[in-house]
Chain A
Amino acid sequence: MLELILGSPFVLRAIIAVFLISILSAFVGSLAIFRESTFLVAGVAHAALAGAAFGILLSLYQITPYIDAFTGALIFAILVALFVGTVTLKSEKASVDVAIGTAFAFSMSIAVALISMIKEYATVAWGLLIGDLLLLSERDILYLIVLTTIVMFTTLIFMREFLFVAFDMESATAYGVRVGFYHYLMLLLISTSVVVILKGVGAILVYALLTIPPAAANEIGKSTTSVIVIAFIISLFSGMLGLYVAFFVDIAPSGITGLIVTTIYMIIFIWKRIQLRELKSH
């Protein structure tokens, strides 16, 4: 059985991907939760879809040699993150939600329009909507390894500043922290992470897999470190279980993983509320 799993390069790559995605979920997902920017993850994922279609279109007609589906997705994702980041710095919460919603609708409209223009390659772009952990190439894994390493070290180095900006932006400015720099750096980390894991988990489920483990962890964690560790454990457990089930049943692993993380979140949420009620009654 173990030989069967480890003998397949597709499964091996999927296992490595789940491990790396769990690290990204723990670090970047936690940042998105702390910064209250989880909706940005969904917005960026759909912008990446439009970017991928744009990249395919450009490479199809050989307009630019360097832009393919991945770089197109990355460019669109970063542009949306910069747009949302600028609105977030300058506006109230309500306008930020509207801005992300507008960027979301705008990029999905572009995605639909562009995908209709690349008919024979449309499946590549639509594939990013659903994703498949078992179809990752060696290049995808390489991108994941490089990015996960960069994200992990950047987050660890700047964690104190990220937390200060997320916790109390005004005071961070007052105490001399370069708020704008850390704000955009956080968004850059979130958006590039979304793009790199998109092929594995898909635009629809990237939100669930990246942000729900840290959201669940934030319900029970007593410190930022414990939230990051618990998020990693939830993400890894759900991802591995999803892969294991998918190995026996013909269902996309990201779908099963999505169901597991949301169930874990609901259990933790209800358990926490019951605990709080008991505490109040004492």
Chain B
Amino acid sequence: MYAVEVNNLTVELDGFTVLENVSFKLEHPSILAIIGPNGAGKTTLLRTLLGIIPAVSGSIKVMGIPLKNNLTKIRRLIGYVPQRTRISTSVPLRVRDVVLMARLSRNGPFYLPRKKDILAAKQALEYVGLLDLWNKRFTHLSGGQQQKVLIARALAVEPKILLFDEPFTGLDIPSEKAIIPLLYTLRVKKGVSILLVTHDINPLINCADKMLLLRKRVIGFGNPLEVIKEDLLTQLYGARVTVVEKEKACYVVERDRHA
């Protein structure tokens, strides 16, 4: 069973080709890190998987179901964690409201929360270790805590696949380190596939099952040790990148940084 199958996907935005003939297959459950420079089409790929942006050509299957004509069905399989920086800080939501909002909204405006919804939200929050913040205002939390609450919101919908858009942006190293094991246990214990867009390669080298090097086209797809090669990364970033190997693990020295 494949979590995601993408075949010859081409996407255009405002007349510009953002993704061209992108193809890959991700087995379920596994963790895929999608990496590439700014403007490589990483976020566009996620948005196309969510049906927010239409494809010009090619096809997508999620858990074996074609995306075309099955959007509602597919969205019920997916949990989405957006870039934290895109979230409004003007809405005075409590943590409980945030964790419940996706699950409840799926059932329409007239649906009232039931015991099973509250339980699912509490379990999701407990899973990320923040149940004690249930009644706190979301904007009063630290960046790392907010990120975990957004993960809990995605977990509360009981997804088969989780999509993350730049989960490490704006996070300090301890917060980053707290999230990575969480992803790993989600895959191992809950059998959730994770697709993760990031510009920061190093945190994921030892945790991702597969890596997709994306720069409008697929530059490389495979196990981290297969694709973290200087020639591929240099082709990906358009600048020389050094890879250091130490104790069977490799680290990218010159990292791509977001402005």
Contact = CB atoms under 8 A, between A and B. Distances in A.
Nearest to B52: A173
Given A158-B109, A175-B157, A227 B52 contact: no
Contacts of A161: 105, 109
B93 A167 contact: yes
B91 interface: yes
A101 interface: no
A49 B212 CA distance: 56
B90 A164 contact: no
Nearest to A176: B75
A170 B102 CA distance: 12
B93 A160 contact: no
B35 interface: no
A224 B97 contact: yes
B54 interface: no
A177 B91 contact: no
Interface residues of A, number: 28
B88 A166 contact: yes
Interface in B39-65: 47, 50, 52
Contacts of B94: 222-223
Contacts of A224: 91-93, 97
A233 to B, nearest CB: 16
B53 to A, nearest CB: 10
A223 B101 contact: no
Contact of A174 (B78, B88, B93, B110): B78
Contacts of B102: 164, 171, 175
Given A33-B90, A171-B82, A163 B137 contact: no
Contacts of B137: 222-223
Interface string B70-114: 001001101010100011101111100110011011100110000
A172 interface: yes
A158 B109 CA distance: 6
Nearest to B50: A174
Given A161-B105, A174-B80, A175-B105, A167 B75 contact: no
Given A160-B101, A160-B109, A176-B106, A171 B93 contact: no
A127 interface: no
A36 B80 contact: no
Interface in A147-187: 157-158, 160-161, 163-164, 166-168, 170-177
Given A157-B110, A164-B101, A224-B97, A218 B92 contact: yes
A83 to B, nearest CB: 20
A155 to B, nearest CB: 11
A174 B72 contact: no
Contacts of A177: 105
Contacts of B88: 34, 36, 166-168
A167 B82 CA distance: 12
Contacts of A170: 47, 52, 80, 82, 86
Contacts of A226: 92
Contacts of B82: 168, 170-171, 174
Contacts of B52: 170, 173-174
Contacts of B72: 176
Interface in B133-186: 137, 153, 157, 163
Interface in A25-75: 33-36
Contacts of A221: 92
Nearest to B103: A175
A176 B86 contact: no
Nearest to B100: A160
A232 B92 CA distance: 16
Contacts of A222: 92, 94, 137
9 contacts: A160-B101, A166-B91, A167-B88, A170-B86, A171-B80, A174-B82, A222-B137, A224-B97, A227-B92
Interface of B: 47, 50, 52, 72, 75-76, 78, 80, 82, 86-88, 90-94, 97-98, 101-102, 104-106, 109-110, 137, 153, 157, 163
